[in-house]
């Protein structure tokens, strides 16, 4: 079944259903189910979102928090062949952008792509498609949009499957 080809990038807009779809893909596989969370809880609203995600997933998932060093985390998890869900790359990109120099940011993204090329474990990665909106009005937001677009292209190239989720409907982009 093509939806279980991996590594698998799941793209979509905000609240498109991409995380729920990715979780269902992982849940269709034998446990243990590992969830790599890139979010940093910096305010009450984000704390609420994290709680909602955890409650939706339930106790069948092992959560690993990883705000920056994603390639190292994936390499370590790949030692045990069990499904891994990374949610989400766009939060990870913002963590990188705000904490590292440009060259280091791109090196981290390239390292994750290297891991994807050699992964033995099923890996599913969630990311927002941020390039469909208006041009942001400030330099930081434009840098973020440009980084996310560049990085999503590289991750999509490293993945054997890519799905775009629109209004809860998954559309397989790769393979065709």
Q: Please list the active-site residues.
A: 53
Q: Specify the DSSP class assigned to residue 3.
A: G
Torsion, Cα of 15, 166, 87, 163 (10° steps): 180
Helix-then-strand count for the chain, H and E? 6, 7
What is Dmax (Cα atoms) for the chain? Answer: 46
Structure tokens at 173: 């982009």
Q: Which residues have a Cβ under 8 Å from the Cβ of 138 and sit 6 or more positions away?
A: none
Q: How many angstroms separate the CA atoms of 109 and 89, rounded?
A: 10
What's the DSSP call for residue 14? T
Give the containing element (helix H, strand E) for 125: strand 123-128
């Amino acid at each position: 079944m093509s939806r279980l080809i991996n590594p698998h990038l799941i793209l979509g807009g905000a609240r498109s259903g991409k995380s729920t779809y990715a979780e269902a893909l992982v849940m269709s596989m034998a446990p243990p189910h590992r969830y790599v969370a890139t979010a940093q809880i910096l305010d009450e609203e984000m704390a609420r979102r994290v709680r909602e995600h955890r409650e939706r997933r339930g106790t069948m998932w092992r959560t690993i928090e990883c705000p920056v060093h994603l390639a190292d985390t994936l390499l370590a998890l790949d030692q045990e062949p069990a499904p891994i869900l990374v949610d989400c790359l766009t939060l990870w990109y913002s963590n990188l952008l705000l904490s590292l120099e440009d060259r280091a940011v791109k090196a981290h993204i390239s390292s994750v792509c290297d891991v994807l090329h050699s992964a033995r474990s099923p890996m599913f990665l969630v990311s927002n498609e941020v390039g469909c909106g208006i041009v942001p009005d400030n330099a930081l937001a434009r840098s973020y949009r440009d980084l996310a677009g560049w990085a999503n292209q590289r991750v999509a190239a490293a993945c054997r499957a890519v799905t775009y989720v629109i209004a809860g409907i998954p559309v397989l982009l790769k393979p065709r």
